[in-house]
Structure 1
């Protein structure tokens, strides 16, 4: 049962990642496709398609992750959502440092609300 719920939340997060990848600066869109989460042995892992690394998104960034600290914190936030399923009132999606046009950020946030990620 727990893994079924986590699998559903992985799908939710992957949809959100696809939305982010389709807007603005195309974060999560790398040379080998769109990054994603997968459940490996029941645990969420981030698949970075830039270097085809499977990353455990917890704690400090390691050398496997190709991205900045704001994106790293968002990925850790995604992992937490996959595990506990709690909708967020505040999220890294509200951080103003993305360099995305405001209209794209509004679209991403609205999408995140519609799929159950944000309250």
Structure 2
């Protein structure tokens, strides 16, 4: 199944939304820098051929480039940053990228979710084609 870059972007945005609705609700904020009581969801987008992460809290567009130091406006920590880099690499290449940028990706045991929720996220990621299935 060869997806286009746009289809891979859509896959990742579905996964970000799925993650934001479970457990610790990463990628979701109920406020932004400028507004309280809003539902704000992070997402990735293509602009001028580049991949950007739009932060759920700051609403800033952050160019997702490996080894790029300036993630000004990124409101999360290193584990999510590594996951965003994995996501961008998947969008760019269409190849299996989970954990390529450290922390073990979605299989990392340190997300702070219950095992059940973490497994739900992993199963969904397999279902939509981000993670490899057991047979691959």
Same fold by TM-score greater than 0.5: yes
Q: Which has the higher contact order (CA 8 A, sep 6+)?
A: 1
- Structure having the higher Rg: 2
Say whether 1:101 aligns with 2:100: no
Distance change >3 Å, CA 29–CA 81, structure 1 → 2: same
Say whether 1:68 aligns with 2:74: no
Q: Deviations over 1:79-106 (max 9, x none)?
A: 0000001134655001111101110110
- Could you list the runs of 5+ residues in structure 2 that have no partner in the other structure? 32-38
Residue 128 of structure 2 is matched in structure 1 by: 115
Q: CA deviation at 1:55?
A: 0.3
Q: Which deviates more from structure 2 when the two are superposed, residues 105-114 or residues 28-37?
A: 28-37
Task: Decide whether the 8 Å contact of 1:61 with 1:72 is kept in 2.
Answer: no
Larger fraction in helix: 1
- Name the CA distance, whole Å, in 2 between partners of 1:82 and 1:18: 16
Distance change >3 Å, CA 78–CA 89, structure 1 → 2: closer
Residue 34 of structure 2 is matched in structure 1 by: none
Q: Deviations over 1:6-65 (max 9, x none)?
A: 110110000000110011100000225110001101221101020110001222463321
3-state SS of 2:4 partner: helix
- Could you list the runs of 5+ residues in structure 1 that have no partner in the other structure? none
Distance change >3 Å, CA 106–CA 61, structure 1 → 2: farther
RMSD, matched Cα: 1.7
**Count of paired positions:** 116
TM-score, length-normalised on structure 2? Answer: 0.79
Residue 28 of structure 2 is matched in structure 1 by: 29
TM-score, length-normalised on structure 1? Answer: 0.89
